[in-house]
Structure 1
């Protein structure tokens, strides 16, 4: 799969996930439709030790506003808002500030082999072997600790020309601009 095909696939899946539908403009259209902003808030939860030494909770959202490349990695910058609640259920504080955090770019699986064998009839001196259609699919799971899966995914995508963190940040910023007019 070429870089352009991969980008197109990602874009189509993203747009389909967000519920957009592509439609050809008709001659009866008097004015272009206004784009509506898409809610990109991501829920954030966590725990902390409150003043009594017990576990308190944090509940909030992170809204990405831009992406940037730093030291070969990808960062998301945006607004973090939320509330700290102590073990007794009392609100002990809020946060509303701009933060940056690393973004993990991972490919969960890669297809290694997709093999389909048709039906087979074999007669070996009176021993008859009939085999119906066989479909063999081998995929590699790419994740931390999956040495063989990571290696095979890297080998299968060796010539794909993966984009740099800067190129990926530019692409994600362009998507943010499209989603939020």
Structure 2
């Protein structure tokens, strides 16, 4: 795997972690004997869909992609700036127009799970005054899901991550911009 492919995979994984991307780059083929020039790596576009009310009052649709170009800290929140391109289609299936413009949108953190407990008990054999209890191996895993509305999952993930350092939106934006710059080098 080349340096550019590794960087592309890192940026893709970060975007997935931020909830901005749903697909990643494919696995690299076996390395050739000679080092070849690395092809230009494009930042992956994120599929975007939506709806609107067309001029006739019908349900129109939007289908396109958002390609991030930079990240920033805006009042303590991480935002992504990029190019939104796509097509607006009316209820009858006709193209109403196209979009190709710069957009700034909040970069939401994807739903996360955190491991609360991972307990494995070996086989157990008890003989209590003639009462025999046999228990095979037990593997108990408890994960908390941290998303809006999951009060207990949010609380347990917050407690489990109390000692984890959380980067600020500005630090995260700087890291993502650095990775974008590396990918866009020719």
Q: Same fold (TM over 0.5)?
A: yes
* Residue ranges of structure 2 left out of the alignment (5+ in a row): 1-8, 15-23
Per-residue deviation, residues 27-71 of structure 1 (Å, max 9, x unmatched): x74x66324213511111111111111111111111100111111
Which runs of 5 or more structure 1 residues have no equivalent in the other structure?
Answer: 1-9
- Residue 18 (structure 1) aligned with residue 25 (structure 2): yes
Q: CA deviation at 1:11?
A: 4.0
In 2, distance between residues paired with 1:37 and 1:178? 9
> C-alpha separation between the residues in 1 aligned to 2:62 and 2:139?
48
1:130–1:143 distance in 2 versus 1, CA, 3 Å = same
Alignment length (residue pairs): 168
Deviations 1:89-123 (A, max 9, x none): 22111111100000111442000011111111100
Could you give the per-residue CA deviations for residues 64-90 of structure 1, whole angstroms, max 9, x where no partner exists? 001111111110100011111111222
Would the aligned equivalents of 2:43 and 2:180 in 1 still touch at CA under 8 Å?
no
Q: Which residue of 2 aligns with 1:63?
A: 67
**What RMSD in Å do the two structures reach over aligned CA positions?**
2.5
Q: Equivalents in 2 of 1:12, 1:87: separation in Å?
A: 37
1:150 aligns with 2:157: no
1:22/1:68 CA distance change after superposition, 3 Å: farther
Residues of 1 paired with 2:116 and 2:109: CA distance? Answer: 20
Q: Secondary structure at the match of 1:170?
A: helix
Whole-Å Cα distance in 1 between the matches of residues 38 and 10 of structure 2? 21
